[in-house]
């Protein structure tokens, strides 16, 4: 934590930094410390992916895992796809995650919370991503479910015009706010609404770097108290940690795919490998 303070002291301009931190404190709110009573469903989804190249063919492998922790249901999707110049594997993986989340949500009952790793908004024209995003948000809206997407990698500053990682000064502001009375609950920035989603930073526990979150509207801050109770000392919600571990592609899986492509190439020839793979993937 000391290193973060030193970073902010260097980056913020001169004697104005204390005033700036005080200004940021005015953009903070405290979530209710009691979680909601009616939540009957908690879903978390993540994916792992890898690219395999053989004889000029680029094959993507996506392993998406979704779990509903209260009902103990689980969906695993292992999807291969032939990559072209216009296909981004990370974007296609997000589409598969959204599909898995929508399936679990549709099969669930009662008030539900959905946790995702990474942002919902992506700058892409991928048809699969746009379709899956629309289906997930529509399903969540119809079910009255809260979708919260967490990201450690922030690419835009929403609360400051500083050319630094925005989480740094916000961390200092949150710690200053807590110091006044020893508050140990969930703290977040005032949500910024943008269409179907609002965005904010959240610090689930003291002394943690805040995370960037995109959430479906309207946001019930008490839901954050529930997630806070399930957050590790590293600041990551435990359900997301579980599906992250389960979705990682092992070296054995990647080796198996490489071996399969190698056998195809020997049987059909390297020139025909692209069409052979495409035909196989279209069938499955």
Domain regions of the chain by residue span: 2-283
* Residue with more model confidence, 3 or 240: 240
Cα(first)–Cα(last) distance of the chain, in Å?
Answer: 50
Q: What is the pLDDT of residue 271?
A: 46
Mean of per-residue pLDDT scores for the chain: 84
Residue 210: partners with Cβ closer than 8 Å, 6 or more residues away: 167, 170, 171, 174, 187, 188, 189, 201, 202, 203
pLDDT in tens, 183-226: 999 999 999 998 889 999 999 999 999 999 999 998 898 999 99
Cα distance between residue 225 and residue 75, in whole Å: 26
The conformational region for residue 283 under phi > 0 = left, psi -120 to 50 = alpha, else beta, is alpha
Classified by CATH at the fold level, domain 2-283 comes out as archaeoglobus fulgidus dsm 4304 fold (3.30.2170)
pLDDT in tens, 100-124: 999 999 999 889 999 999 999 999 9
Backbone angles phi, psi at 144, to 5 degrees: 70, 30
This prediction has a pTM of 0.86
Residue 35 has pLDDT above 90, yes or no: no
CA 70 remoteness from chain centre: 20
């Amino acid at each position: 934590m000391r290193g973060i303070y030193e970073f902010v002291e260097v980056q913020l301009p001169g004697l104005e930094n204390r005033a700036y931190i005080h200004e940021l404190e005015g953009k903070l709110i405290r979530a209710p410390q009691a979680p909601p009573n009616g939540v009957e469903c908690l879903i978390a989804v993540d994916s792992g992916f890898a690219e395999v190249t053989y004889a000029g063919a680029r094959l993507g492998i996506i392993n998406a895992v979704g779990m509903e922790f209260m009902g103990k249901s689980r969906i695993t999707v292992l999807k291969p796809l032939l990559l072209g110049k216009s296909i981004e594997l990370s974007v296609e993986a997000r589409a598969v995650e959204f599909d898995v989340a929508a399936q679990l949500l549709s099969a669930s009952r009662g008030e539900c919370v959905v946790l995702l790793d990474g942002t919902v908004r992506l700058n892409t024209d991928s048809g699969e991503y746009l379709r899956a995003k629309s289906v997930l948000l529509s399903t969540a809206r119809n079910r009255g479910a809260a979708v919260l997407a967490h990201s450690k990698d922030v690419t835009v500053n929403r609360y400051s015009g500083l050319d630094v990682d925005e989480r740094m000064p916000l961390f200092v502001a949150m710690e200053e706010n807590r110091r006044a009375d020893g508050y140990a609950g969930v703290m977040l920035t005032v949500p910024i609404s943008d269409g179907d989603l609002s965005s904010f930073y959240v610090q689930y526990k003291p002394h943690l770097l805040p995370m960037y979150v995109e959430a479906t509207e309207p946001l019930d801050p008490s839901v954050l108290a529930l997630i806070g109770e399930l957050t590790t000392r590293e600041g990551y919600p435990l359900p997301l940690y579980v599906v992250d571990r389960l979705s990682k592609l092992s070296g054995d899986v990647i080796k198996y795919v490489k071996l399969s492509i190698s056998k195809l190439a020997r049987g059909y020839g390297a020139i025909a490998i692209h069409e052979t793979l495409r035909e196989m993937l279209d069938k499955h």
